[in-house]
Chain A
């Protein structure tokens, strides 16, 4: 069955530390891949997306993501986390005129 999985429900990192949020998908072909961020009580905002080409994608707010076909993954990274990055992060997968969102990973940033 087609699915998108974010294995980590909650991650805590210290401010200034690096961050990696995981996203795996299960589709017959390579889908379109997105990362969105949701600040508390707000809607979602697109961070970045991957359709084709260079497998390392740069987004807003200093985030990047790497597509790895062999691992069916599209992990989100940031070299140095800021307190304002505390939010919930959703991986989304687009395929065949459909869009599916992962369950989300909540990021807490420690001072």
Chain B
């Protein structure tokens, strides 16, 4: 089955620790995205990548880092510099590189809780 997988589904972190969220797609999509979802705030873009070895900051990139070494993979690291990391994180991908018009395909999400 083609799709996007995210792991783990639930993640607990102690304050001061970095954690990495996995996102893999087998849709052969060029573009990939990371969003953060908080209640009542919709989706906010953290980072996006439109091609391998290139990525751009979104609206709330502070305290996060990404890499795009392979087309199918776009891991997100939540660093200790992120002041309020507890949230639901969604990864998405799309075929082309026009964020205005592309349908985005979403993974099932990772819920991160900082203890």
Contact = CB atoms under 8 A, between A and B. Distances in A.
Contact of B108 (A34, A43, A101): A43
A70 interface: no
Q: Is the interface of B mostly helix, strand, loop or mixed?
A: loop
Contact of A43 (B41, B45, B98, B109): B109
Nearest to A90: B42
Given A31-B100, A94-B100, A97-B98, A103 B40 contact: yes
A42 interface: yes
A57 B99 CA distance: 21
Query: Which interface residue of B92, B106, B107, B108 has the most chain A CB atoms within 10 A?
Result: B106
A94 B104 CA distance: 11
Nearest to B40: A103
A51 B106 contact: no
Interface residues of A, number: 23
Contacts of B101: 32, 51, 94
A95 interface: yes
B100 A99 contact: yes
Nearest to A6: B42
Interface in B57-86: none
Interface in A74-101: 90, 94-99, 101
Contact of A99 (B40, B99, B106): B99
Contacts of B111: 41
A44 B107 CA distance: 8
A43 B108 CA distance: 4
Interface of B: 4, 35, 40-43, 45, 90, 92, 98-104, 106-109, 111
24 contacts: A32-B101, A34-B103, A41-B108, A41-B111, A42-B109, A43-B108, A44-B90, A44-B92, A44-B104, A45-B106, A49-B103, A51-B101, A90-B42, A94-B100, A94-B101, A95-B100, A96-B100, A97-B98, A97-B99, A99-B45, A101-B35, A103-B40, A103-B41, A104-B42
Given A34-B103, A44-B90, A94-B101, 4 more contacts: A9-B40, A44-B43, A44-B104, A103-B41
